[in-house]
């Protein structure tokens, strides 16, 4: 199907983009369009204006600022996969991005669009939560920072106001941490039935930090804090990993849908967490 008609604007600065959003309460940002256009074609949404961010140069690209990696919202999945700084400072992002969609989707889809879309089955929201990333938004009242833990509010809903734009994401350096994104789906190109983002830091063998976040185990990404507590302080051996992974679904409220029932997802989360941690602790 063809989308319902709308106005199109293509500003070249963040300020112009915010003004365009403020001018029409039913306006929407257009990033890569890889989630928005399918939604518009199915006529599940009918914004009256699309504000295309492609020409806003400041939103593109990756840089290092102090101890943080800063990823512009309009950086595409494909650019992330080819970026040496991402590979060095936040390899978990690259690993998860490689599992997103297919090459065509990765050429257009953006990091910021995936986070703003906040699809519970999307792979990158859980990754942002595991990394304790900070979202930087700009609206009519200026700039503000939103921790990942507060950014994902509900199904397809973020803390962004309708006239706010996600401009960049600050990611703390996790060079040297073990990492793994473990995704379960039945077909190539498909979304996660369950996904697990894991990060482990070890000092002299012992596990000093554990971060685990789950994809599609609730209406928003879930931090598996019971797993984190159980593994941290151990020697990171197979027994400790298995015991910790057994807590993966604690407090989660997984959905039941055509891809699987809630109890099946709970089971998957424990199995995938064990696999993810086994890689992340390193041999």
Partner 1 sequence: MTRISVTVDGVESTDEVEPRTLLVQYLREARGRTGTPVGCDTSNCGACTVLVDGRAVKSCALLAVQADGREVTTVQGLSNGALHPVQRAFHERHALQCGYCTPGMIMAAVDLLRETPDPTEQEVREGLEGNLCRCTGYQNIVAAVRDAAAELRGAS
Ligand X SMILES: Cc1cc2nc3c(=O)[nH]c(=O)nc-3n(C[C@H](O)[C@H](O)[C@H](O)COP(=O)(O)OP(=O)(O)OC[C@H]3O[C@@H](n4cnc5c(N)ncnc54)[C@H](O)[C@@H]3O)c2cc1C
For ligand X, what does the binding mask look like between residues 9 and 48, x meaning CB under 6 A?
Answer: -------------------xxxxxxxxx-x----------
Contact with partner 1 (CB under 8 A) among 6, 149, 226, 262? 6
By the rule CB under 6 A, 166 interacts with ligand X:
yes
Closest approach, Cβ 1 to partner 1, in A, equals 6
CB atoms within 10 A of CB 149: 14
Cα–Cα distance between 5 and 13 in angstroms, integer?
25
By the rule CB under 6 A, 146 interacts with ligand X:
no
Chain residues 96-135 in contact with partner 1, contact rule CB under 8 A: 101-105, 107-108
Chain residues 86-115 in contact with ligand X, contact rule CB under 6 A: 100-101, 105, 109-110, 112-114
Q: Which residues pair with 139 in a beta bridge?
A: 142
Closest approach, Cβ 199 to ligand X, in A, equals 18
CB atoms within 10 A of CB 217: 28
Give all strands (DSSP E) within the chain, no chain letters: 7-9, 27-30, 49-52, 62-65, 68-72, 134-139, 142-147, 152-154, 157-158, 165-172, 178-184, 194-203, 206-215, 222-223
Q: Which residues bind partner 1 (CB under 8 A)?
A: 1-8, 10, 30, 33-34, 37-38, 40-42, 50, 52, 54, 78, 101-105, 107-108, 188-189
């Amino acid at each position: 199907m063809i989308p319902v008609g709308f106005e199109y604007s293509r500003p070249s600065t963040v300020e112009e983009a915010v003004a365009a959003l403020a001018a029409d309460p039913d306006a929407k940002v257009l990033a890569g369009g890889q989630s928005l256009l399918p939604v518009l074609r199915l006529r599940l949404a009918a914004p009256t204006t699309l504000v295309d961010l492609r020409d806003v140069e400041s939103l593109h690209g990756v840089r290092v600022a102090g101890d943080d990696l800063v990823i512009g919202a309009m950086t595409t999945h494909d650019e992330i996969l080819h970026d040496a700084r991402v590979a060095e400072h936040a390899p978990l992002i690259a690993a998860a991005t490689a599992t997103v969609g297919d090459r065509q989707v990765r050429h257009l889809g953006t990091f910021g669009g995936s986070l703003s879309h906040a699809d519970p089955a999307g792979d990158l929201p859980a990754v942002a939560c595991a990394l304790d990333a900070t979202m930087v938004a700009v609206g009519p009242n200026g700039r503000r920072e939103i921790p990942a833990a507060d950014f994902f509010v509900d199904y397809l809903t973020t803390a962004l106001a309708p006239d706010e734009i996600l401009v960049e994401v600050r990611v703390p350096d996790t060079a040297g941490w073990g990492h793994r994104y473990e995704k379960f789906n039945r077909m190539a190109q498909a979304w996660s039935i369950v996904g697990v983002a894991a990060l482990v830091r070890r000092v002299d063998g012992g596990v000093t930090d554990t971060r685990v976040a789950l994809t599609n185990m609730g209406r928003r990404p879930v931090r598996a804090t019971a797993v984190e507590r159980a593994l941290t302080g151990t020697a990171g051996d197979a027994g400790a990993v298995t015991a910790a992974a057994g807590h993966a679904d604690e407090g989660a409220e997984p959905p039941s849908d055509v891809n699987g029932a809630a109890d099946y997802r709970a089971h998957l989360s424990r199995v995938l967490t064990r696999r993810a941690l086994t890689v992340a602790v390193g041999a």
